């Protein structure tokens, strides 16, 4: 059985490098998001609402990730192999994987590699673009799987990296297109953490489904252009000196009469 995993990164569980990377990402993400909130100069009620939305976004994504780990544990305990529920291109039975493949991972290391990207990118998407997320998540989820079914190599394709690549490219590209403080800040955060994911768009290891990565990224870029105005922009920050400069400019008719 030929199986291709769509992994966001190569992970060696238990190594100091991986543990350090996890600590850096977990401890840096929340302060980074709060820095975005502070940069918007919100009133206290707005800040409270933003914190509530951030917390809810985090919990929703965390619940999805817990479900992924639960499925993997069930597969391990039951001795079953869920790989044949993945996407197999151009086979009718492989169409089931369009809906199921993102839930299936070939190993705990594969799932581990996708966990943090899903958590950080999913939270950033739901927090920064709640209206767009209603379209982005289902289109990335189903669209990337359908593209794999149509165009990918003949093998079982499994894993959630179509989602992670799609979310990363969506958040980065829409940040460039919108160019407001929140959008730029979120784009910089995801690029700082996961900019190296761009190398996953190219064929590397034969067992990696780069087609899933490429499909997710393509849908993410497309959706960024289509939905760039879907969410309202935060109010622009104005400084007191801007008002003073405006008041100091004399009207053209304010001259002394002769």
* CB contact at 8 A, 75 and 108: no
d(CA 256, CA 258): 6
d(CA 150, CA 220): 18
Give 222's contacts (C-beta < 8 A, 6+ positions apart).
none
What's the pLDDT tens digit per position in 158-194? Answer: 999 999 999 999 999 999 999 998 899 999 999 988 9
156-158 vs 3-5, strand pairing mode: parallel
Cα three-residue angle 186-187-191, rounded to 5 degrees: 115
* CB contact at 8 A, 147 and 40: no
pLDDT exceeds 90 at position 29:
no
Residue 216 located in a structural domain: yes
Tell me what pLDDT residue 2 has.
64
Helix and strand counts by DSSP (H, E) for the chain: 9, 2
pLDDT exceeds 80 at position 251:
no
pLDDT exceeds 80 at position 35:
no
* CB contact at 8 A, 220 and 170: yes
Residue 2 located in a structural domain: no
What's the pLDDT tens digit per position in 230-248? Answer: 999 887 665 555 555 555 5
Give 256's contacts (C-beta < 8 A, 6+ positions apart).
none
Q: Which residues pair with 156 in a beta bridge?
A: 3
Mean pLDDT of the chain: 84
d(CA 137, CA 86): 19
Residue 241 located in a structural domain: no
Residue 250 located in a structural domain: no
- Return the H-helix or E-strand segment holding 24: helix 16-39
Tell me what pLDDT residue 235 has.
72
Residue 153 located in a structural domain: yes
What's the pLDDT tens digit per position in 76-130? Answer: 999 999 999 999 999 999 999 999 999 999 999 999 999 999 999 999 999 999 9
Give phi and psi for 211, each to the nearest 5. Answer: -65, -35
Residue 256 located in a structural domain: no
pLDDT exceeds 80 at position 22:
no
d(CA 159, CA 140): 13
Mean pLDDT of 197-207: 90
Tell me what pLDDT residue 43 has.
67
Q: What CATH number should be reported for the domain holding residue 42?
A: 1.20.1540.10
Q: Which residue has the higher pLDDT, 170 or 206?
A: 170
Q: Which two tokens stand for residue 139?
A: 């289109």
Mean pLDDT of 211-231: 97
Provide the domain limits for residue 80: 11-231
Q: Which of 2-16, 24-38, 53-67, 136-150 has the lowest mean pLDDT?
A: 2-16
Q: How many domains does the chain have?
A: 1
């Amino acid at each position: 059985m030929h199986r291709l995993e769509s992994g966001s990164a190569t992970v060696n569980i238990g190594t100091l490098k991986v543990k350090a990377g996890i600590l850096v990402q977990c401890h840096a993400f929340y302060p980074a998001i709060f820095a975005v909130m502070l940069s918007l100069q919100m009133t206290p009620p707005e800040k409270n609402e933003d914190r509530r939305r951030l917390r809810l976004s985090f919990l929703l994504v965390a619940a999805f990730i817990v479900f992924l780990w639960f499925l993997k544990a069930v597969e391990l305990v039951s001795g079953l192999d869920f790989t044949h529920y993945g996407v197999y291109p151009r086979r009718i039975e492989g169409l089931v994987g369009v809906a199921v493949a993102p839930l299936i991972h070939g190993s705990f290391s594969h799932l581990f590699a996708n966990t943090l990207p899903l958590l950080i990118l999913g939270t950033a998407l739901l927090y920064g673009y709640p209206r767009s997320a209603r379209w982005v998540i289902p289109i990335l989820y189903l669209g990337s799987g359908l593209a794999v079914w149509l165009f990918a190599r003949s093998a079982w394709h499994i894993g959630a990296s179509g989602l992670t690549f799609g979310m990363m490219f969506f958040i980065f590209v829409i940040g460039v297109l919108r160019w407001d403080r929140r959008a730029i800040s979120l784009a910089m955060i995801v690029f700082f953490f996961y900019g190296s994911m761009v190398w996953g768009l190219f064929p590397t290891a034969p067992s990696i489904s780069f087609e899933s990565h490429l499909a997710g990224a393509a849908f993410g870029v497309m959706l960024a252009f289509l939905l760039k105005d879907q969410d309202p922009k935060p109010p622009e920050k104005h400084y007191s000196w801007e008002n003073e400069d405006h008041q100091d400019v004399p009207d053209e008719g304010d001259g002394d009469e002769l």
